[in-house]
Amino acid sequence: MLIAMDDISAIHIAALAPRLTGRYLLPEQPPDLPGRLADKEELAGLCKRLGIPHPAMVIPASAAEAAAAPWELGLPMVAKWSRPWLLTAGSGLRSTTLVHSAADAARLHEQGDAAGSRLLLQRYLPYRPDSDWFFHGYFGDQDRCLVAGTGRKVLSWPLRTGLTALGRWQPNPEVEQAALRLAAHVGYRGILDLDFRWDEASGTFHLLDFNPRLGAQFRLFTDRDGLDVVRAQYLDLTGRPVPRPRSRPGRVFVAENYALLSLLASGGRARPFRTAGPDSSRSAGCPPDGAGPASRRDGTESAWFAADDIAPFLSMAAVWFGRALRKGRNRLRRPGVRTRRRGRAMPVPRAVPDGGSASHPDSASMPR
């Protein structure tokens, strides 16, 4: 069985399926379907046809149209490249950027040739606690959803925009119904991972991304018998029945390294094990989960640590410790760091490129 871990792998596996069949177990679906769903422009059009909420979007045909987009979308805006897998490492472009001015939008549009796909400008949906949700599922033939779950992103890294550092399995009927309707409409078969954000202005959950592959936190949705989307796909593709899931809402997934960074960067303001009370749950459009920290029975799924195999955790810790040492050493060597000589603090002037200015913070979109 061949399982994609990112969008570009899912796209190529589907395109090469006729040559891979016989060597690997693969879900049967149109070879171009993963690419169409991962394409941000096509996904927006699909949501519009199905009536699934999606952030308002402008697709500028020129730099002038990009500069005029704030009149319709406001500032800041979210800038995305429709096919982010075409970005090259040397382009200096990011798949998703938070744009703070009309001039920045125009400059991004001028780099379209380097990006390899069209620039999309979206209305920014403000972040608030409990606003980010995700759906994971496995779909068999005849649009059968065999395993599924919805979860709430409690901590992320980078803050407010990145991958799930800590997530909780929490039922959300609105998110689930939107995901099921979309998957059924396109005849999707296989594992998928969808991202949603609550929009206070419209009072609905908006679909942000359709990832036609495994999400990083898929083990969060492991039932009481150990069934998850990967095991469900294996059973289904080998012709064996997939048992009815025995769900465990309240389970927690934690990526230890990113959760620590998120907590530190939040200055202690984040409350990762806060129970979603009635007020916050109503504001996010779903009933309260009524669950505090996951119990022993519900469990916590760690990304790295396992008592019976600590090698992955130790490897991760060694890599991160080494990276922290290198960054600290480079920071001390960088111009602008205060040095001491003969007991006096000597500030070193910081070099600034001609015409340079402080860049706006970017918000990168990452695999869940």
> How many Å apart are CA 302 and CA 29, to the nearest integer?
32
Tokens of 329: 């050493």
Q: What dotted CATH number matches 132-302? A: 3.30.470.20
Task: Quick: pLDDT tens for 288-321.
Answer: 444 444 444 468 999 999 999 999 999 999 999 9
The full length of the chain comes to: 368
- pLDDT tier for residue 27 given thresholds of 50, 70 and 90: very high
- Is the separation of the CB atoms in 126 and 191 below 8 Å? no
pLDDT at 162: 85
Task: Tell me which amino acid residue 156 is.
Answer: S
Query: Average pLDDT in the 186-197 region?
Result: 97
Task: Tell me which amino acid residue 100 is.
Answer: H
Task: Tell me which amino acid residue 303 is.
Answer: A
Domain ranges of the chain: 27-123, 132-302
Residue 86 pLDDT > 60: yes
Computed over every residue of the chain, the mean pLDDT equals 86
- Is the separation of the CB atoms in 64 and 48 below 8 Å? no
3-state secondary structure labels for all residues of 61-79 = CCHHHHHHCHHHHCCCEEE
Q: How many CA atoms lie within 13 A of 152 on its CB side?
A: 29
Q: What dotted CATH number matches 27-123? A: 3.30.1490.20
Query: Average pLDDT in the 134-145 region?
Result: 95
pLDDT at 271: 62
Task: Quick: pLDDT tens for 225-257.
Answer: 999 999 999 999 999 999 999 999 999 999 999
Give the count of beta carbons closer than 10 Å to the beta carbon of residue 39: 23
